[in-house]
Structure 1
Amino acid sequence: MSLLSSPHEAFSSGFYRDPTLDFAVRGLLGHAPSGATEPGEVLATIATVPDGDWTAWHAAWLDLGARLLDEASALHEAGRLESASGLYLRASRYLAEAVDSAPDDTRADVFRRHRLAWDGFIDTTLYSAQRVSIPYEADSLPGYVIRPGDDDEPRPTIILVNGSDGSHSAMWGDAAHGALVRGYTVLIFDGPGQQSMLFERGTAFRPDWEKVVTPVVDFLLARPDVDAAKLAIYGISQGGYWVPRALAFETRLAAAIADPGVTDVSASWLPRLPAPLRALFEAGKKDAFDRDMQIGMRFGAATARTWAFRARPYRQESYFDTLNEVSRYALGDLAASIRTPLFITSPEGEQFWPGQSAALAEALPGERVLQEFTAAEGADLHCQPLARTLTQQRMFDWLDVALDL
């Protein structure tokens, strides 16, 4: 076996030089405690993928996910439900990685296979799981209510709000599994612009997330198996903006978690622009901005890929219009209206919204906890990817107290 220099330093030096691939590996490994990934599968897979090779990255996760999905289906048919369940879950998580890196012409099919694996998990899990359709304006939001057991007793319930690109299988590792083992019922759903609402229905994100959360709360409070006094909400990544935004208007939630806190989504976009481009945008010079952005994208394949991935859910026609839309995702003075107790994670080395967790905590008039996470704990970077067990321990311990459990 040939060893790289100091391979034991991967935590601090990185699994890849490409920061996006490195962060993805950390997220995959961090979901292992929930059963959503297997460390050996992850490490064996990345060993075949050169740094920065997105074509190889996509092919590797697609191949692994497809193989596990086939194995899960065979075991399911044979009645080996527990084994099938674990394979379906891991297949779903790996195929989610393939969705994120899929070419435009195959993304819909890869997403279909990813969701097929997730639904296989739902059909075979030992937890009590139910597909639901949540009334939403003239449409509906697809989701899943998952309960710790088969009884109909009212339970504390937590709404799980994903970020800009998170899958259900990722949310399983981030919060759902940890909630279920502690006795919570969980609701996982696709909001506008998320997952099936994007890839199958073509809907866009919206900044006024209270228009999403209020119908979800209405739906849950109509269920006899939900304890109305112990209803909470959790938001990860960009969900750390959507949840506080909703709390400024929706007052029926007993407690909330923002992982991390986000006050202005555009702060992860605008500072990355070269100064001349930012000046054009801030001056409102749409044609010049779009022209120069288009030229720049021709010379930066990685930048073009990242832009396309991040911009897709906003469903805007131009570079300028996309940034204009993203700029609407800011809390502003609304934070002062929030009265719901809020737990806010604040990881060392936050890449996307540094300082915003503390800013949110400072702006809140009511009960809040700002929980620091550090590299020394193995818990740095956005959403503490390699410390999801520690994150869930801290946030659910707080939530248990907040809900008087």
Structure 2
Amino acid sequence: MRKLNVMSLLHPDAHRVYQTEFLPDSRDYTVRSLLGKTSRGCADAGEVLATLASVDPSDHRAWFDAWVALGRRIAAVAAASAAAGHRVSAARAYLRAATYFATAVSAVDGLDGDESPLLPTFHEHRASWEGFVTTTAWPVERVDIPYEGSTMPGWFFRPDTAAGPRRTLVVVNGSDGSLSGLWAEAAEGALERGYNVLLFDGPGQQSMLFERDIPFRPDWGPVLTPVVDFLLARGDVDPDRLASYAISQGGYWLPQALTTEHRFAAAVADGGVVDVGRTWTSHIPHPVLAAYLKGDTAKFDREMNLGFSVPGGKAQRRNWNFRARPYGITGFAATLDQVRKYDLTAAAGHITTPLLVTDCEDEQFFPGQAAELAKLVPTAELITFTAQEGARFHCQPMARELTEQRVFDWLDEQLHP
């Protein structure tokens, strides 16, 4: 059967795709994010575009299946390279495979059927990540960070094997990002600049959600304070040069933690967030939202369910389910009650840590909130990215080299010896 050429079908004016879109829905952002990860080896542009061109954009099952198939193909390449002793090739292939499986994990909510492939697909993603950890040339240690009678899984990377304390970066994930994504967004860039790097799964993130059913929480001091305690007990971490970087909705969690945790010497919110619930309510029709605001939660739930049942509502329901899962709440009104707790407005003024906040043109998830956060935090500095620089949309997905340069130049100046 002749494969559908999606790119030519959607974009006959192909040279303007940056200003228009790769796909006519949220998957356009997925493609941009994948392409942005290529400079760190977490994806390959040809593999991404060839996969995109092979899938009918209206077929969500085919979209999911395509990324699983690509992940498996590249994971097999990685395994063969490892077996033959080609560690560099193996590590790089495992890293790409992990990214492609992570893309499939994010697509699970678009599927029909009662049996979800979420956990098996996540396990394939994590197996590829562990393959990377096993074969990478960067010194790395798997760690367990104490957390409320249990632990959070982490990976402590070092830039080399030299002894002695050095500056260290704690990387905070967003609402649905993967470890391979964090590798591209901050981890390897920090290692190249001589930082130790800690990656970890926090509440509601990755293995903590999928394998342990531990949801998000609005207060992140109780999450990051054990992380800091864990790091400062190590002899290879300089307690005076400890920093943190957070991406996407992590731009809420990290500042929230900084309202009570003051031991970081500097922090970066790559996409500042003040009020998570504002994004949710802004997409609900005013007559429907009015029922919720009046306290008529039964009517609100009925109206929401009805709205998701009309033609075109299926995609919106998929998006709601995807976004709501990590909060661990069922019911439309109950979920909104929980989400609205994620609000920094009253507490942001308590932050004393030097904080860099990034803002971008055409921010689609938390519009205006980065600049708002910078105004609320006395120690904050705001940097803005533009479409002309190739840096439009949430967290500058196709301008990660530019983002890395500005973020780490600022961090280097804050953490100088």
Place the TM-score, normalised by the shorter chain, in its bin.
over 0.9
**Structure 1 counterpart of 2:194, from 183, 195, 199:** 183
The structural deviation recorded for 1:52 is 3.6
Q: 1:298-352: per-residue Cα shift (whole Å, max 9, x none)?
A: 2211011101100000010211110100000000221111110000000001001
Structure-2 residue corresponding to 1:119: 130
Given that 2:57 and 2:63 are in contact with CA atoms closer than 8 Å, whether structure 1 keeps it comes out as no
Given that 1:36 and 1:89 are in contact with CA atoms closer than 8 Å, whether structure 2 keeps it comes out as yes
Summarize the alignment of residues 243-322 of structure 1 with structure 2, pairs less than 5 Å apart: 243-299=254-310, 300-322=313-335
1:335 matched to 2:341? The reply is: no
The structural deviation recorded for 1:361 is 0.9
Q: 1:23-70: per-residue Cα shift (whole Å, max 9, x none)?
A: 000000000011101111111110112224321211111000011111
Summarize the alignment of residues 185-204 of structure 1 with structure 2, pairs less than 5 Å apart: 185-204=196-215
The structural deviation recorded for 1:92 is 0.1
Summarize the alignment of residues 4-403 of structure 1 with structure 2, pairs less than 5 Å apart: 4-18=11-25, 20-102=26-108, 103=111, 105-299=116-310, 300-366=313-379, 368-403=380-415
**2:23 and 2:378 mapped to 1: Cα distance?**
42
**2:65 and 2:228 mapped to 1: Cα distance?**
40
**2:37 and 2:400 mapped to 1: Cα distance?**
7
**1:360 and 1:383 mapped to 2: Cα distance?**
15
**2:171 and 2:291 mapped to 1: Cα distance?**
38
Given that 2:87 and 2:135 are in contact with CA atoms closer than 8 Å, whether structure 1 keeps it comes out as yes
TM-score, normalising length from structure 1?
A: 0.97
**1:404 and 1:267 mapped to 2: Cα distance?**
38
**2:245 and 2:293 mapped to 1: Cα distance?**
33
**1:91 and 1:346 mapped to 2: Cα distance?**
30
Q: SS at 2:246's partner residue?
A: strand
Q: Percent identity?
A: 50
**1:290 and 1:188 mapped to 2: Cα distance?**
38
Given that 1:267 and 1:352 are in contact with CA atoms closer than 8 Å, whether structure 2 keeps it comes out as no
Aligned residues: 403
Q: SS at 2:388's partner residue?
A: helix
* 1:112 partner amino acid: H
Over 3 Å off, 4+ runs:
1-4
Given that 1:264 and 1:329 are in contact with CA atoms closer than 8 Å, whether structure 2 keeps it comes out as yes
Given that 2:129 and 2:180 are in contact with CA atoms closer than 8 Å, whether structure 1 keeps it comes out as yes
**2:183 and 2:207 mapped to 1: Cα distance?**
17
**2:375 and 2:30 mapped to 1: Cα distance?**
31
* Segment drifting more, 235-244 vs 278-287: 278-287
The structural deviation recorded for 1:17 is 1.4
* 2:171 partner amino acid: L
**1:63 and 1:343 mapped to 2: Cα distance?**
39
Q: 1:144-176: per-residue Cα shift (whole Å, max 9, x none)?
A: 001111223211111100100000001111111
Aligned-pair Cα RMSD in Å: 1.2
Unaligned runs of 5+ in 1: none
**1:77 and 1:346 mapped to 2: Cα distance?**
44
* Segment drifting more, 53-62 vs 255-264: 53-62
The structural deviation recorded for 1:287 is 1.0
TM-score, normalising length from structure 2?
A: 0.95
Q: SS at 1:372's partner residue?
A: strand
Unaligned runs of 5+ in 2: none
Given that 2:345 and 2:376 are in contact with CA atoms closer than 8 Å, whether structure 1 keeps it comes out as no
**1:315 and 1:382 mapped to 2: Cα distance?**
25
Q: SS at 1:13's partner residue?
A: coil
Given that 2:203 and 2:215 are in contact with CA atoms closer than 8 Å, whether structure 1 keeps it comes out as yes
* 1:398 partner amino acid: W
* 1:84 partner amino acid: A
Q: SS at 1:289's partner residue?
A: helix
Q: SS at 2:346's partner residue?
A: helix
**2:286 and 2:382 mapped to 1: Cα distance?**
33
Q: SS at 1:62's partner residue?
A: helix
**1:285 and 1:115 mapped to 2: Cα distance?**
43
The structural deviation recorded for 1:260 is 0.8
**1:54 and 1:29 mapped to 2: Cα distance?**
20
Q: SS at 2:253's partner residue?
A: helix
Given that 1:69 and 1:117 are in contact with CA atoms closer than 8 Å, whether structure 2 keeps it comes out as yes
Q: SS at 1:60's partner residue?
A: helix
**1:50 and 1:155 mapped to 2: Cα distance?**
49
**1:150 and 1:298 mapped to 2: Cα distance?**
58
Given that 1:21 and 1:52 are in contact with CA atoms closer than 8 Å, whether structure 2 keeps it comes out as no
